[in-house]
Structure 1
Amino acid sequence: MTAAQVRHAGRLSVAPMMDWTDRHCRYFHRLMSRHALLYTEMVTAPAVIHGDRDRLLGFDPTEHPVALQLGGSDPVQLAEAARIAVDYGYDEINLNCGCPSDRVQSGSFGAILMENAPLVAQCVAAMKQAVPVPVTVKCRIGVDDQDPHEILPDFLARVSAVGIDHFIIHARKAWLQGLSPKENRDIPPLDYDLVLEMNGLFPGLNLSINGGVNSLDEAIALLDNGLDGVMIGRAAYHTPSEILLDADERIFGQPAGRTAEDVVELMLPYIENHIAQGGRLGQVTRHMLGMFQGRPGARGWRRHLSENAHKDGAGPQVVLDALEYVTRLAA
């Protein structure tokens, strides 16, 4: 996949979310949108270098276009991890400069890197030199007492100077002192205007926005305002059919074609194969609970999966039985 194709896919992307956007989730999301860019959970560079690479990096070819998000602050480690990831076939490598968790702070990466733009520039320069695919940065508008109107343009200028031209900006500060990671997703106010201002200030950069986008209508409005891409996180996970089933048509101008019921049916062979390889049903279906959110029968669908997917011997029939709660009411 060319860099231009990956960039086009980034008009709409599903955010990297720890414990959520694993390979099963991404396969499920891909069945709803053929074109949106999907991101992995964040994986640390040392884990890629020293850990179980197949478990951490393996993915189904169906997931393309798919980007790996790396965490780290050592240019040599990040370059090596990026090389390894490209051998697995990832279409983009993204550096996390936005995660506010305690574990990330103790490792001197994630959102705390907003305080060290020169180091970020070194990291992405090393990654860019190491791999032929696009290297991108996901960042915040600032951390703690930083003034976003000062820090963000400085950060973008310093990091883009080494040849990085795509940034995904979470339009909130991260408060590393005083707020939990969960609170950091909601409490700091959104500042879309600042991100739009950066779009005017840096016309040569490809800027995507993240944070608080809950519908395709909102995404389209932001694209119409001149941004190059919109990244959606929790809404895409909790109400995937509302975000992803119409995305190909409304964002990419391509036919949609599939219904929520179609997608569930298409998941069955994947589930069967996963179980045949020693996996458990709940590892897949936990990502599917919100599929029929807002529709008659959605509660029955969720309840049946939640109560039965963890049981020994649970397989595709559990999913079909859960689907009946929806299809009976739709008939």
Structure 2
Amino acid sequence: MWESFEARLEENERDRPLPLRRALFEVLRGSGLRPGDGVTKKMVAFKFGAGDHLLWEIQNPANVFLHAKWRDLVEANGFSSEPRPFQTGMKDGGRHSALSRDWSFSDADCFVVRIESAEALRRLIAVLLQSGDALMLNPAAITRWIERLRHFFPALDRFDRPDPQFDEAERTYKLEIADGLKSAISQAGSDQELADAVNNALAKSNLLQWRAYWPMSPKGDADRDKLWPALRALIDAALGAPDGHASALETFVSAWIVAVPDGKPDPARQIAEFLFLHLAPDHGIYIRHSVRQDLWLEAVGSQFPDHASMADTYRDELRFMQAVRRAFASQGLAPRDMIDVQGALWTVHNYKE
């Protein structure tokens, strides 16, 4: 996707070269924002958080657009803005057509911020990424992790310029399993066929130990009447909006504990996260308990929180993985999705000489 953005940049530079355009693009590329689904000659979309968008007008590079919900926070941090409301009944809502697409703000109100320097854009992005639940990680930990990653994969420069060895070891098979799982889910009619699709995917993967998902396997002892509807609901959530992942995981964990003799929460958490990572790799995460505990302690400086709610556990895991993704991006590694982040952290924690 970055190649598409660079092509639009060059196209605009040929039409009207502007030093600000290239300077702002470099900030955006190293910011931790992710390429969005929309790219036109005049406007490109970036994603951040759990489904938020930032649109940058390449043709007039000082213009940055955000959803209206961010306006109070942005202005409180010293940025001026102008509203761009959606006007019902008018073509494109009475504003630039790209602002009203499915990959941007649709029919929601937005606003424009004028950015006159690279430093101003860095400050704006920092406000967006550090608001709410964003974690700040110890830079020394990030440095060690990157050094460790490149120790085992010395040809790895950037994830989006793939190192064949890393992809073979930590990525390609996950994408293949994801493709097979999506195909099987689309063809499954009954709850049993849906469960078979998930079990087949789990058996092909090495992310979970077999004991974790054995209760729901063909020879397992889970109560199918109780567990299969919960599994279907979990899959629907994984294929839906990412802001529903945490509550869906908690619901599935509760059903697992009821349906599985002596059922424990963590196997169910892993099954849910396996589905999130494979069915929604740009937002969904998977992380082993041991990796989470050790790397959180190193980078955050405290023990991982002991939450009573599995939804809160997932939210903190997500905060951590998003922070790692931003940190890797700021160091020029350009993770393509959460599969890259998961594979990198597993390498750091578990690879041996």
TM-score (norm 2): 0.23
TM-score (norm 1): 0.24
Larger radius of gyration: 2
